[in-house]
Chain A
């Protein structure tokens, strides 16, 4: 009996699949550049406008219109290239990629072909506690297409639709396509690469890199080859599939993982992997083949006659290089060296959206540990409660630094500090103003505290006697009573010390 994929093949587990086959993964990532205007015309790039309100003769591809390159798009692409350790081409051209599709106004996409702007770079990414260097084949510029809404089929699917409605607001927005070498060997590293690339673009402020809005999207090329024993030459690359338009980090990892298992299943059953475009379904976590009638693509690339070549000088590239800020990897190294943060700390702070705030709070005088603790716990929670990002809170790094200073000086307890934060958030002024206004400062050495101590000792003679008799642990309830009498505005350590003194200990 001939085995087939559907009847007799058993599906290996992921671990089993990667034990026998080595995944070879390359990623192509499209990043929409955050220019104000489009790549070749003055239309706005703002997200979320009413359909077809950000279009003009050029980006609609009307006859007689001609493109002119947006300098900022070139500059942003060069920044990305430099940050990815690429060499910047001293001379290159745009090229037309010809294919008919309703969302592409001219039925050719202005792109780059054999002369990309940036080539031969790399990006180091961290995964599984190791650094993985991912080679960057090229970074080239191109324009985005319009967006189609498919009508008449099931839930907006293109399959079964009776017609489509096209919005060209996105057509002509500048993109870079960043292509890796097939250097990636696991779904986790694939995800970490996209994550690092996103952080890099964010640090460069060249894109808002919102995967859910499509301003960063990823295609994953996955193939398998049999593992060979150490010392033996590696097997040649297998046939690859390309899974398109992955729009979250989780989808990148899941899609690659699914492809590895799917391809291993086919290979185990003696079937071939088909070179094809596939689509990832978020709901099922599986990929499916793209168009059944895909014709052999012949894009008929040729140099774009309507655009002059780019001949970027050393001076231009150096000037762009000078604008590149600290990159995420450098920043992580510095944060570790200067503040002792672990990689996990940094990831936590970044994911909570407080990393910049922590740094600014340290710069404003707080210790790194205090800044990290207050932003990551209390303030991140307050932000979540208020439904705003931490940076949107009505309390800033200077306020937080002042509060941590008062704690360090023994003027506030953690509990009091939380009350101060509530006051600042309520618009009652600076931390000092809130402390003064609410009368929150710890009372440590004036008559009021001494008086409260005496009252508590008088009110609880039995416990006082135990302490006098040497049972120091018994002082706890008395400390609590004094703190209560002081409405929390005392330092528990000072109270304990005073009580023990009074009781002859």
Chain B
């Protein structure tokens, strides 16, 4: 097993995904197969090969330090699930018992 059900549960927490027990049951073996298949990358990529992080070799793409228009606040907040006093209202950041 490349990946266990517990590991999937940990990854789900790290990526903020509430998964059902059934989802964990199906995902763990699927991911195990996928990881087994993709692990083939280790066969060819030797140590002296540089990784490619950007396909087109551009560097130093800059913008000048000039201000442009910002969104009107009503637009910025328009898609928000909840707002208050011109701010985005979000649930408590710490759990109740913290």
Contact = CB atoms under 8 A, between A and B. Distances in A.
A and B touch in the complex (CB under 8 A): yes
Interface in A296-324: 298, 303, 305, 307-312
A44 B92 CA distance: 29
Interface in A187-237: none
A258 to B, nearest CB: 23
B90 interface: yes
A407 interface: no
A57 B68 CA distance: 12
A444 interface: no
Given A43-B70, A158-B93, A167 B53 contact: no
Give chain A's interface residue range (CB within 8 Å of chain B): 35 or more
A57 B71 contact: yes
A51 interface: yes
Interface stretch (A66-74, A117-125, A342-350, A386-394): A66-74
B contacts with A: majority SS = loop
B69 interface: yes
Contacts of B70: 42-44, 53-56
B3 to A, nearest CB: 15
A309 B76 CA distance: 30
Given A36-B67, A43-B70, A305-B53, A52 B88 contact: yes
Nearest to B74: A52
Contacts of A382: none
A51 B85 contact: yes
A161 B92 contact: yes
Contact of A166 (B13, B54, B60, B88): B88
B58 A43 contact: no
Which among B59, B64, B66, B88 has the highest number of chain A CB atoms within 10 Å? B88
A70 B63 contact: yes
Given A50-B73, A52-B88, A102-B90, A71 B53 contact: no
A102 B93 contact: yes
A42 B69 contact: yes
A contacts with B: majority SS = loop
B92 A37 contact: no
Contact of B73 (A36, A53, A149, A158): A53
A303 B53 contact: yes
A56 B76 CA distance: 7
Interface in B63-98: 63-71, 73, 76-77, 84-95, 98
B67 A43 contact: yes
Interface string B28-62: 00000000000000000000000001100011111
Contacts of B68: 37, 41-43, 56
B14 interface: yes
A331 B84 CA distance: 50
A71 B76 contact: no
Contacts of B88: 52, 102, 165-168
B86 A51 contact: yes
Nearest to B65: A72
B60 A311 contact: yes
A71 B63 contact: yes
A491 to B, nearest CB: 57
B66 A36 contact: yes
A68 B62 contact: yes
Contacts of B71: 55-57, 60
A419 interface: no
A101 B90 CA distance: 11
Contact of B86 (A52, A295, A305): A52
Given A291-B94, A308-B54, 18 more contacts: A37-B68, A43-B67, A43-B70, A50-B86, A52-B87, A60-B76, A68-B63, A69-B62, A71-B62, A71-B64, A148-B90, A163-B90, A164-B89, A165-B88, A303-B53, A307-B61, A309-B53, A309-B59
19 contacts: A36-B66, A42-B66, A42-B67, A44-B67, A52-B87, A52-B88, A55-B71, A60-B71, A60-B76, A70-B64, A71-B62, A102-B90, A158-B94, A163-B90, A163-B91, A164-B89, A291-B98, A293-B94, A311-B60
Interface of A: 35-37, 41-44, 50-57, 60, 68-74, 91, 93, 100-102, 148-152, 158-159, 161-168, 291-293, 295, 298, 303, 305, 307-312
Interface of B: 13-14, 16, 53-54, 58-71, 73, 76-77, 84-95, 98
The 3 A-B residue pairs with the shortest CB-CB distance, nearest first, are A42-B68, A72-B65, A165-B87
